[in-house]
């Protein structure tokens, strides 16, 4: 159970966080904190006027207030080592530097938008911009009439996502009023709308020649932000000092999303292969007609290296014959193995996945015959009889149903 204190408890967002947490058995609301605190609070928890008045231990502090509260929150978090979730927007450049400094001493989670859907939108934006290099990018956002900052922190975050994909600077243009001339290449336009009771709408438009792609997220109520704040609080419990973001939370949620199994695979191992590009190229040219996978090689030593790769069991004989004809090569062969593929987009930015995977193998008493990796995938070959047991261990470790 995560014990939380909510700063900005009397605001709309703070009150919603408390209301959701009270109904969730995985949370205990230790205190609400707000300068307008009074003794007749109906929030269902003690209400304090200042974070300094908090004497009970908490696991995480969740903040939905204003930038003015930041110094006291950072002081408390760094003094007590308590994780801090900042859902407040409108921080200045100076505020952001203070947050980064505090993250050296305490765990701090920062997101201008706590919606999990917006985190997915940011990830989709990153993928789209990479795939559609050269498209013009325009970002629009709409919020209720009472929102005080414009553009929204989320719109600026999305602009940062776009800019981070480019090797060259991409300036953000907030207002084209008075600009006379064509749109500059590489700029990111951001426009804001305010009115009514719109909880929040963000759209990333990618404009190419004769085609347009739009990615959009609409919050139908602020409940999604409160739910995201609680999701972040659960994520931050027990974390070490550091600067955490929604991208990392999303990565953890998508750390391992699929475990695949392919039976009847063979691994061929070759020793003493000349460590020369043309020799290695010739080797693989010789087996062009064979479906080769899981290629790995050792660091060259004395002009030679060891090489291993997998092939379908049905193509093993053809591979062995081709290698023999190529240069009299006689590989060491391990047959009838199972190939396990562990995949997840979150692997790309999350350390420690390989360690957890090998812990699963150790628990099962299984040594792999071959292992290869990429940013988002780990593939290994094991004895077929152990495959199901290893898969079950991996699924348990990473919370797959």
Give me the DSSP letters along 300-339: PBTTEEEEEEEEEGGGHHHHHHHHHHHH----EEEEEEEE
Question: Which pair of tokens denotes residue 351?
Answer: 């350390």
Q: How many CB atoms lie within 10 A of CB 62?
A: 33
Cα separation, 54 vs 47, whole angstroms? 10
Are 33 and 8 within 8 A, CB to CB?
A: yes
CA 22 to chain centre: 28
Give me the DSSP letters along 177-222: TT--SPPPTT-EEEEEEE-TT--EEEEEEEEETTEEEEEEEEESST
Cα separation, 177 vs 121, whole angstroms? 28
Q: Which of 143, 217, 339, 386 is catalytic?
A: 143
Are 381 and 368 within 8 A, CB to CB?
A: yes
Q: According to DSSP H, which parts of 112-173 are helical?
A: 116-131, 153-163
Cα separation, 199 vs 246, whole angstroms? 20
Cα separation, 335 vs 373, whole angstroms? 21
Q: Which of 80, 130, 147, 336 is catalytic?
A: 147
Cα separation, 288 vs 143, whole angstroms? 58
| Residue 377 a catalytic site member | no
Name the residue with tokens 């920062």.
Answer: 110
Q: How many CB atoms lie within 10 A of CB 356?
A: 13
Q: According to DSSP H, which parts of 148-215 are helical?
A: 153-163
In sequence order, the β-bridge partners of residue 119 are none
Catalytic residues: 143, 147
């Amino acid at each position: 159970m995560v014990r939380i204190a909510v700063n900005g408890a009397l605001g709309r967002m703070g009150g919603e966080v408390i209301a959701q947490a009270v109904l969730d058995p995985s949370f205990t609301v230790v205190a609400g904190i707000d300068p307008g605190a009074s003794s007749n609070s109906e929030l269902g928890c003690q209400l304090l006027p200042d974070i300094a008045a908090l004497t009970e231990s908490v696991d995480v502090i969740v903040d939905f207030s204003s930038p003015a509260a930041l110094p006291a929150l950072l002081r408390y978090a760094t003094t007590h080592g308590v994780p801090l979730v900042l859902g407040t927007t409108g921080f200045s450049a100076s505020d952001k530097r203070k947050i980064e400094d505090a993250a050296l001493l305490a765990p701090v989670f920062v997101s201008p938008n706590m919606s999990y859907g917006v985190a997915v939108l940011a990830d989709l934006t990153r993928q789209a911009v990479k795939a559609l290099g050269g498209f013009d990018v325009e970002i629009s956002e709409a919020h209720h009439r009472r929102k005080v900052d414009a553009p929204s922190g989320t719109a600026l975050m999305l602009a940062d996502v776009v800019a981070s994909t480019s090797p060259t600077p991409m300036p953000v243009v907030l207002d084209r009023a008075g600009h006379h001339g064509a749109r500059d290449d590489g700029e990111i336009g951001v426009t804001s709308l305010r009115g009514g009771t719109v909880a929040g709408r963000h759209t990333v438009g990618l404009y190419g020649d004769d085609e347009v792609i739009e990615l959009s997220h609409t919050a139908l109520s602020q409940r999604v932000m409160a739910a995201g704040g609680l999701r972040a609080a659960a994520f931050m419990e027990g974390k070490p000092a550091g600067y955490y973001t929604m991208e990392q939370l999303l990565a953890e949620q998508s750390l391992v999303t699929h475990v695949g199994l392919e039976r009847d695979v063979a691994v061929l191992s070759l020793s003493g292969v000349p460590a020369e590009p043309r020799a290695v190229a010739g080797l693989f040219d010789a087996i062009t007609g064979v479906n080769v996978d899981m290629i790995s090689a050792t660091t060259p030593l004395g002009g030679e290296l060891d090489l291993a790769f997998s092939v379908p069991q049905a193509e093993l004989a053809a591979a062995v014959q081709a290698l023999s004809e190529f240069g009299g090569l006689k590989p060491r062969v391990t047959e009838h193995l199972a190939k396990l593929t562990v995949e997840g987009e979150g692997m790309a930015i999350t350390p420690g996945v390989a360690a957890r995977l090998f812990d699963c193998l150790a628990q099962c008493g299984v040594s792999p015959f071959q292992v290869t990796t990429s940013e988002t995938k780990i593939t290994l070959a094991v004895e077929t009889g152990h495959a199901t047991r290893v898969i079950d261990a991996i699924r348990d470790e990473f919370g797959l149903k």
